[in-house]
Amino acid sequence: MGWALPLATAALMLAWVPHATCARSSSHVLPRCLSNNSSHILVSYKDDSSSSRKKMADCSDEFRSNFLRVLQSRRKILKVPPTVEHGNPIGDPLYQNKKPLPSKMAMETCPRKEIEGLQEKLVEEKLYLITEEGEQGRLPVLILSLKDDAHKRKPAIVFLHSSYMCKEWLRPLLEAYASRGYVSIAIDSRYHGERAHTNMTYVDALVSAWRKGDTMPFIFDTVWDLIKLADYLVERDDVDPARIGITGESLGGMHAWFAAAADARYSVAVPIIGIQGFRWAIDNDKWQARADSIKPLFEAARLDLGKSAIDKEVVEKVWDRIAPGLDSEFDSPYSVPVIAPRPLLVLNGADDPRCPLSGLETPEERTSAAYKSFGSADKFKLIAEPGIGHQMTSSMVKEASDWFDRFLGEQNNRNS
């Protein structure tokens, strides 16, 4: 089975950029519409004129072009023939660094339609998409949907797992949404699930990226996969290409955030405990919890830099190396507003040390202004659940479900 490369992606293809361009001195430059000063973007966002909206659209295009250039900078071959391979369900999925496994209770509270014999009526597909050359360019995909004799196009949602987990972990969500008429999709992110071989695969990949500078396993490489996944989904006969949502938890929330910023085909986004201010955390000495979540990487960098302790210089150098621009031009104050005017729900814990709420004040202000300028203020919402740290809760699952039903449900079907 083959699939065509959509014009939207083909138009974005740029020349290969050498690795050296990822250095802070040369590539960490904000789009022109953001570069004058920190308030410039707010001034233009408060203007709801058509010319201002045009400028913001141009700014979003420039952001995406710059981001795609970084994604392409560590790929020697950009044009890999689009290929789909069929596979079999995984009986014993690999969970790294997770003993015991966390509770699935929050996912299991996801609203579902009561259907007698649901398991027999679910269609399960196991695919591999080839997104680039090499072992990590083979993207494992799990798809659940209801049998449909009418062969109607349905809304689709991509679900993204947290660190050390895998696509099979998300099955309660996949089944719940499939029962309500969605095409539910989950993938293994880079160096996770079927793309891992040992309990240390992800950590080893992070350390290798720091030392070699040839991959971006923390966030960006999976975003590349998600752009290629969108290429595939819009070509499926059972998916409405105008109604594709994306969501994820923790690392998956970051993947959802950046995929929505990079690719407008993700028409609705709900990042859960993922959006944060990377530069804010460095400047305000709040980077420790994030660094602790992948501490072996930062310990390796500390040793290589001859430091006695992990400090903000280590953090800056790590982000520069494994995710160029993460704490500058691609950080949340600049990447989140470009999602406007597509519906965006941000779900965080008010006491989350990895995603400090104070670090979201500027991104929230700029994003709110962007949506207002488009006349779409009702399409952006940030909910910080009181008393909750870095945890996805049942209320977050319900809020996400309601948001997707509101903006991807049948009332949004242009073909009906």
Instruction: Please indicate, yes or no, if residue 49 is contained in any of the structural domains.
Output: yes
Question: What pLDDT, on a 0 to 100 scale, did the predictor assign at position 157?
Answer: 98
Whole domain around residue 362: which residue ranges?
7-18+34-412
Of 381, 369, 268, 271, residue with least CA distance to 56: 369
Torsion angle of the four alpha carbons 67, 72, 74, 80, in this order, in degrees rounded to the nearest 10 = 150
Instruction: Please indicate, yes or no, if residue 113 is contained in any of the structural domains.
Output: yes
Of 399, 339, 404, residue with least CA distance to 367: 339
Instruction: Please indicate, yes or no, if residue 48 is contained in any of the structural domains.
Output: yes
pLDDT digits (tens, 9 = 90+) for 177-187: 999 999 999 99
Q: What is the DSSP string of 174-236?
A: HHHHHHTT-EEEEEPPTTSGGG--STTHHHHHHHHHHHH----TTTHHHHHHHHHHHHHHTT-
Instruction: Please indicate, yes or no, if residue 25 is contained in any of the structural domains.
Output: no
Question: What pLDDT, on a 0 to 100 scale, did the predictor assign at position 49?
Answer: 64
Sequence-ordered list of residues with C-beta below 8 angstroms from that of 68, at least 6 positions apart, any chain: 12, 14, 262
Instruction: Please give the Cα distance from 47 to 75 (Å, whole number).
Output: 39
Mean pLDDT by 10 residues, the chain (416 residues): 41 31 43 47 53 82 96 87 91 88 96 95 97 95 94 96 98 98 98 97 98 97 98 97 98 98 98 98 98 97 98 98 98 97 98 98 96 95 98 98 95 68
Q: What is the DSSP string of 93-126?
A: ---SS-SSPPP-HHHHTS-----TTHHHHEEEEE
Q: What is the DSSP string of 317-371?
A: HHHHHHSTTTTTTTSHHHHSGGGTTS-EEEEEETT-SSS-GGGGHHHHHHHHHHH
What is the CATH number for 330? 3.40.50.1820
Instruction: Please indicate, yes or no, if residue 39 is contained in any of the structural domains.
Output: yes
**Number of domains present in the structure of the chain:** 1
Instruction: Please indicate, yes or no, if residue 27 is contained in any of the structural domains.
Output: no
Instruction: Please indicate, yes or no, if residue 91 is contained in any of the structural domains.
Output: yes
Instruction: Please indicate, yes or no, if residue 54 is contained in any of the structural domains.
Output: yes
pTM for the full model? Answer: 0.90
pLDDT digits (tens, 9 = 90+) for 301-352: 999 999 999 999 999 999 999 999 999 999 999 999 999 999 999 999 999 9
Question: What pLDDT, on a 0 to 100 scale, did the predictor assign at position 78?
Answer: 80
Sequence-ordered list of residues with C-beta below 8 angstroms from that of 113, at least 6 positions apart, any chain: 179, 180, 181
